[in-house]
Amino acid sequence: MRLATFLETARDQILEEVVAFAKTIPALQNCDDKALRNHLPNVLEAISADLRTPQTRTESIDKSHGNAPVQPGQSSAQTHGLMRAQSGIDIEQLVAEFRAMRSSVLRLWSESHSVEPTTIEDITRFNEAIDQAVAESVQFYAQERERWREIFLGVLGHDLCGPLNAISLTADVMIKQGIAPAQQTAMLGRQVSRMKTLLDSLLEYSRSSLGAGMALHLAQTDLAAACSEEVQLQLAAFPDAKIAFHAHGPAEGAYDASRVREALGNLVSNAVRHGDVGGNITVRVEGTANGVAVSVENPGELAPESMEQLFEPLHRGQSGPGLDRTNLGLGLFIARQIARAHGGDVVGRCDHHQVTFTLKLPKK
């Protein structure tokens, strides 16, 4: 009996074994058999149809390289991965389901038929089809899990902003009415401001990851003046830091000054937290006829191969001793999003124990 025929005639027996395995997965233990079968019958049907389809050697090689022909619509394996992501199982358990299916099919088939000249060909084609189904299922599983992760981050940041604003307003009232000592309420205000900064970064990351992009409010502005004000705020936030500011050339243009200041604040904060403790930090604004470059330089060491990784969201570098580790690792990611929204970019380099990140903004 050819394997394609066996998949059709022994479908229920195969599914019974696969469902029995699925019941051992904690996230699926409370599901009924219908839910556990999910799209697995359709997956078997698709594999059977694939085995009955003539295939050249070139097509077989292409499939092994992950270049199988794209089928119209959503495949059964893709739907299965999507639904398993929603059920809460992890990706290893998803792959284990397909391993259980592969093992059950080959064992039951070998027990019910004798070896024939076409056996090796059938096994090879079956393994190719299973591998293709795994790839499709994992792809949709990963996409669905990532989508819900981004939604969670967005909802978390949005929902926390409400009570945080209430705390901030309450602190203001306490200061104005003298209900609590000014020193304590000022400390509360600073902590609220820090939490708001973290939430703003979280929301920007969520927006960018979901494809919403970064909103800009462009206006004619002098970036040298805006960056100078931001440096003064950073000096207040990090009173022990040594930050020097230099500006040269025309820095006027159509920019979102608030966003640029946010990017600069992230770069300075990065320099303080991850650079050499007590090192001199230099902020430069260099204006030309074509654009403005805002750079932050500090003593430190970064391997060239790790530079781009620092721009990845939720990636944190090594913090300096004694400094808090509560930041989310979104600073450079947000800075780059701001630069790219302006049509520019952020680049980093490390030369002679000096780390420099430069925000390049074109003039339009």
What is the 3 state secondary structure string of 146-207? HHHHHHHHHHHHHHHHHHHHHHHHHHHHHHHHCCCCHHHHHHHHHHHHHHHHHHHHHHHHHH
Write out the two tokens for 207: 């927006």
Cα(1)–Cα(183) distance, integer angstroms? 84
User: Tell me, what amino acid is at 193?
Assistant: S
Cα(42)–Cα(101) distance, integer angstroms? 13
pTM for this model (two decimals): 0.50
What's the confidence (pLDDT) of residue 313?
A: 61
Which range of 40-44, 75-79, 252-256, 305-309 scores highest in mean pLDDT? It is 252-256
Least confident range of 36-45, 99-108, 221-230, 344-353: 36-45
What residue ranges define each of the domains in the chain, with the CATH number in brackets? 1-213 (no CATH), 219-362 (3.30.565.10)
Q: What is the mean predicted confidence (pLDDT) over 43-67? A: 82
Q: Which pLDDT band, with edges at 50, 70 and 90, does 182 fall under?
A: low
Q: What is the mean predicted confidence (pLDDT) over 179-206? A: 65
Q: Which pLDDT band, with edges at 50, 70 and 90, does 322 fall under?
A: very low
The backbone region for 353, taken as left when phi is positive above 0, alpha when psi lies in -120 to 50, beta otherwise, is left
Q: How many residues are there in the chain?
A: 364
Q: Are 8 and 48 in contact (CB under 8 A)?
A: yes
Q: What is the mean predicted confidence (pLDDT) over 187-199? A: 66
Cα(264)–Cα(335) distance, integer angstroms? 7
Q: Please spell the DSSP secondary structure of 334-360, one letter per residue.
A: HHHHHHHHTT-EEEEEEETTEEEEEEE
Least confident range of 70-79, 90-99, 123-132, 313-322: 313-322
**Tens digit of pLDDT for each residue in 126-156?**
998 899 889 999 999 898 887 777 766 665 6
Q: Give exposure, 112-137, as e/b (b: 16+ Cβ within 10 Å).
A: eeeeeeeeeebeebbebbbbbbbebb
Helix, coil or strand: residue 303: coil
What's the confidence (pLDDT) of residue 264?
A: 94
Write out the two tokens for 309: 């990784």
**Whether the predicted pLDDT of 168 surpasses 60:** yes
**Tens digit of pLDDT for each residue in 201-211?**
666 666 665 45
The backbone region for 200, taken as left when phi is positive above 0, alpha when psi lies in -120 to 50, beta otherwise, is alpha
Cα(330)–Cα(201) distance, integer angstroms? 6
Write out the two tokens for 42: 């359709």
